[in-house]
Chains A and B, each alone.
Chain A
Amino acid sequence: EVQLVETGGGLIQPGGSLRLSCAASGFTVSSNYMSWVRQAPGKGLEWVSVIYSGGSTYYADSVKGRFTISRDNSKNTLYLQMNSLRAEDTAVYYCAREGRAVTKDGYYYYYMDVWGKGTTVTVSS
């Protein structure tokens, strides 16, 4: 069964660090684009970061310089290292597998077809 399971969330003080993990089963993390998406309480989805199969990484401006996405191929696991945490980082963090394709008329499309259930990060003193 294709599955993602996030762990590592919790209560952390402002300025602190936390590492989230996302264990995959049923597919290979390193062969796919993998994203972290978060959702603050009562708010919409916000993309956080993506790592491509080739290893390139991209970040939302709101977390650039503070968060680092990585993966461990031997453990088939995705990570998000979060440093200098702020109250506004409080959210449920989801990891997701991202598929991609191109149509015959040249349109690219991307889609997150597998999501974990999320892990909650609360930044508060």
Chain B
Amino acid sequence: SSELTQDPAVSVALGQTVRITCQGDSLRSYYASWYQQKPGQAPVLVIYGKNNRPSGIPDRFSGSSSGNTASLTITGAQAEDEADYYCNSRDSSGDVVFGGGTKLTVL
């Protein structure tokens, strides 16, 4: 199965914009979905498809894609956005793949 690569850690100043990226060959064929996970909690879907947000997800979260790279952007990061973020896609064999996760610190 293919791999999805994420930076292990990213930091952002409160109120600033941060982009979290996910790279992988499968992203040329599939849009990524993005999940937020806070300590001790289950993952929560924040972005899916081209740039869709589930109900209840703030509009400061957005997604984009170019070539083999998907990005999750948080515009005006808040303290409550500090969490681990995972990307997810499928590969050509139908297997589900997750990125290794990015730990976001809001300073």
Q: In residues 22-63 of chain B, which contact A (Cβ within 8 Å)?
A: 29-33, 35, 37, 41-45, 48-50, 54
Q: Which residues of B contact A112 (CB under 8 A)?
A: 33, 35, 43, 45, 88
- How many B residues touch A, CB cutoff 8 Å? 30
For B95, the chain A residues whose CB sits under 8 A away are 47, 58, 60
Number of A-B contacts (CB under 8 A): 80
Q: Interface SS of chain B: helix, strand, loop or mixed?
A: strand
The count of residues in chain A whose C-beta lies closer than 8 Å to any C-beta of chain B is: 26
Contacts of A50 in B (CB 8 A): 94, 96
Q: A-contacting residues of B (Cβ < 8 Å)?
A: 1, 29-33, 35, 37, 41-45, 48-50, 54, 84, 86, 88-90, 94-101
- The residues of A with any CB-CB pair to B shorter than 8 Å are 35, 37, 44-47, 50, 58, 60-61, 94, 98-99, 101, 103, 107-113, 115-118
